[in-house]
Amino acid sequence: MSASFTSNNTNVPAVSGLHGAAGTGVRGFVEGRGIGVMGTSPQGVGVWAESAEGTALQVHCAAPDLPAIVVDSARYEAIHASSHDERVATIAVYNDAGGSPGVAVFASSTSGTAIHAQSENGGMATVVATHIGAGPGLVAHSEQNEGINASSNALDHAAVAAYQTNSTSHAAALFAKKDGLVGHAGFFDGNVHVTGRIVAEVDICLANADCAEEFDICDVARPEPGTVMVLSDSGGLRTSQRAYDKRVAGVVSGAGQYRPGIVLDSQRDQPNRQPIALLGKVYCKVDARYGAIAVGDLLTTSDTPGYAMLAEDRDQAFGTVIGKALQPLPAGSGLIPILIALQ
């Protein structure tokens, strides 16, 4: 027997099934290829299923190439489900195909979001993915955009947090691999803080020039980058004041086009410290009034405060050389790049 029911009253459903005991309110069964239950409404709810204790809606299809349920909505949610029991899920989906690698939930969208999950409980996760077996808990893939895009507006929580909870495991909490030689397995736009060791099996490439170390500065005025510095009696550094000073220590890093590639002994909570270039290339204040400077000339401290000069006196130069000139300076004073080589 087949039947079709129609209602034109917005307060009266076309079909209503109520079972006063523990039975089924409405049941539709098809032996062949057809539709067991079909509900259509141009403005209301197509099928409304409600249960006080049991399952609100159960659908089964034995055909191998047909879906168990098809839900379509022109202008609202295709499925709207709610549960008032905090002990159970609002929607529970299972794949009971035994050893089959079938999908329990498949969501597809041609233009919008396939799945949108929102939670207003601060102590609960919006999405929880758990795999009891050996497979991954969550797999995300995109052909033209990020596989996973995560953002957080919290003050004390990261946008992405990864934990490896097995203390005996050699696996990483976060693993990234990039195929090919173009691009990077990891890219950070901003500062990176590391509390443990950094191990590199190949090369460490630094874009900037010199190796610097922070020192306490004894000068009242903060010396400019490029200033030649010498050791002070207090253990810190001060601006050089005289020629051929054996206390020469380095050059304040950061002048011209060069920046320190690595900074040792950095203490950001100490405002009177500055990075001093000890190795590599750095721009240095040089005074050529004591002698014209050519590429490769040795440089030492001068009587001009904070400036280097040509080291002409070989006897006095021993122990006072700060480096070699990488550009000439025929006359006057200015900034030139030098190769730090304390000797």
pLDDT digits (tens, 9 = 90+) for 151-160: 989 899 888 8
243-288: pLDDT as tens digits: 999 999 999 999 999 999 999 998 888 889 999 999 999 999 999 9
Q: Determine the Cα–Cα distance for residues 45 and 43; give it in Å rounded to an integer.
A: 7
Q: Determine the Cα–Cα distance for residues 306 and 238; give it in Å rounded to an integer.
A: 9
Task: Please tell me which of 91-100, 120-129, 146-155 the model is most confident about, judged by mean pLDDT.
Answer: 146-155
Fold of the 210-340 domain: Virus Head Decoration Protein; Chain: A, (2.40.300)
Instruction: For residue 309, count CB atoms less than 10 angstroms from its CB and return exposed for 0-12, middle for 13-18, buried for 19 or more.
Output: buried
Q: What are the C-alpha distances in Å from 157 to residues 35, 152, 186? A: 49, 7, 20
Q: Which carries the bigger pLDDT value, residue 64 or residue 229?
A: 229
Q: Which residue stretches of the chain are H helix?
A: 314-317
Q: Determine the Cα–Cα distance for residues 308 and 275; give it in Å rounded to an integer.
A: 18
Q: What is the pLDDT of residue 72?
A: 73
Which amino acid does the sequence have at 286? V
Q: Determine the Cα–Cα distance for residues 23 and 233; give it in Å rounded to an integer.
A: 94
Q: Is-contact 311 317, C-beta < 8 A?
A: yes
Q: Is-contact 294 312, C-beta < 8 A?
A: no
Identify the three-state secondary structure at position 314: helix
Q: Determine the Cα–Cα distance for residues 57 and 260; give it in Å rounded to an integer.
A: 67
pTM over 0.75: no
Domain boundaries, the chain: 210-340
Pairing of strands 260-264, 210-216: parallel
